Amino acid sequence: MSSILCPFCFEKVDKKKLEYRCKNHPVPQPVPRLTGNNNPICPFCGRNVYLQVCPKCENEIPDQYIDAGNVLFAVIGPKNVGKTQFTTVLVHELERSFSTEFDVCLSTETSEYTTSTKARNESMLYSTLEVIPETNSAVQGENATSPMIYTLGRGSNKVNLVFYDTAGEDLNASDKMYNSTIHKYIANSTGIIFLVDPLQFDYVRNRISDKDCLPNKIDTSIQEVLSRSCNIIRTVNDNLKKSLKIKLAIVLTKIDVLTREPTNSQEEQIFFDSLSSVRANRDRGHYDAENFDKLNEEVERFVERATEGAFTQYVKNNFHKGYYRYFVTSSLGQAPKDHHQLCIRPNPFRIEDSMIWLLNETTHLIPKK
């Protein structure tokens, strides 16, 4: 590939136009790019320069990122849906069981921010057993988050994974999305993981017996958030076509609450029983199309009932057929006590499914059956 997508400003950059910057000089200066010389000599200190930066935003771009392909999966969803918990646990699983299953390796040595944030978030979930606090708004300047950058693959077959932990409130208004890099992040995505909290559905809230497990109700609907994202994609890419050809994984979170034994007929309407495809184990080591097809059909029907067809119809009208799928997950495998304290370490349920589907659709890392 002759160009890369900068993981910070999300602008396409010609690899030949990347700038070199010396860290040895007291005031780092851009070093003129020398034709045919990948590591020019700094005119200030006389040493070879290896650090490459984006000429547009001047952020450091890791070597591993430059060498691998551009695969950008946007993780978005309304406020309090659990995006940070999902991303943290997903990366934890990608690094361990997922890597073993699919014979790949997840590299996290790409940026200081990635390694430090990953360590802090994993410490909270897996050591102190605390739920990670809400993400700061990206329009808050220095308090905004940076992208989490990883490289996944085997041998020369590698892809970059970039996760930008968006705050839910930043998706509540179009002007907030345009006042940060969120709009470019979403518009340039290879695929979108759209998290949906089923406990926000009135259909579920009115039928569930344990009201203590329900989070506070939020005002913004999932359709509003997805609609703004679709408008962003069309505007940035100057594409006014009705159907979007970008992969969309719609993932119901906190599914552990809906896989318990029902206590009455009302709960039977919203719970996934022992015969549900949600509980069916997928074949390991390859893409299990049959399992994912059944899961997609059942979860889509559930969302259709819960939204009276409004959300599922919106998806059908705005995304090309075959470009969207429905999934479920429980990032933590439990409902936190008082919504912030875990009883045990995270025990995720089907958290890797949406990633398996997206990688199967966009890369060659997942074997077919």
Is residue 56 scored above 70 in pLDDT? yes
- 167 token code pair: 């705050």
Residue 28 CB neighbours (<10 A): 16
> Residue with structure tokens 């890419």?
237
Q: What is the 3-state secondary structure (H, E, C) of the chain?
A: CCEEECCCCCCEEEHHHCEEECCCCCCCCEECCCCCCCCCECCCCCCECCCEECCCCCCECCHHHHHCEEECEEEECCCCCCHHHHHHHHHHHHHHHHHHHHCCEEECCCCHHHHHHHHHHHHHHHCCCECCCCCCCCCCHHHCCCCEEEEEEECCEEEEEEECCCCHHHHCCHHHHHCCCHHHHHHCCCEEEEEECHHHCHHHHCCCCCHHHCCCCCCCCHHHHHHHHHHHHHHHCCCCCCCECCEEEEEECCHHHHCCCCCCHHHHCCCCCCCCHHHCCCCCCCECHHHHHHHHHHHHHHHHHHCCCHHHHHHHHHECCCCEEEEECECCCCCCECCCECCCCCCCECCCHHHHHHHHHHCCCCCEC
Give the model's confidence band at 172: pLDDT under 50 very low, under 70 low, under 90 confident, else very high. Answer: low
Maximum average pLDDT range among 148-162, 235-249, 278-292: 278-292
Report whether pLDDT(242) > 80.
no
Buried b (16+ CB within 10 A) or exposed e, 98-133: beeebebebbbebbebbeebbeebbebbeeebebbe
- pLDDT grade for 140, boundaries at 50, 70 and 90: very low
Can you give the pLDDT at residue 3?
Answer: 87
For 254-270, how does the pLDDT look when each residue is reduced to its tens digit (9 = 90+)?
999 999 999 999 999 99
Cα-Cα-Cα-Cα torsion 22, 25, 31, 34, nearest 10 degrees, comes to -70
Confidence of residue 301 (pLDDT cuts 50, 70, 90): very high
**Between the CA of residue 312 and those of 75, 198, 290, 304, 367, what are the distances in Å?**
19, 14, 21, 6, 30
Amino acid symbol at 349:
F
Q: 83 or 135: whose pLDDT is higher? A: 83
Q: Where in the chain is the domain with CATH 3.40.50.300?
A: 68-362
Reported confidence tier of residue 139, pLDDT bands at 50, 70, 90: very low
Phi and psi angles of residue 117, each rounded to the nearest 5 degrees, phi first: -70, -40
Residue with tokens 């950059």: 13
Average pLDDT in the 189-208 region? 96
Question: What is the token pair recorded at 4?
Answer: 């890369």
Average pLDDT over residues 150-171: 81
What CATH number labels 68-362?
Answer: 3.40.50.300
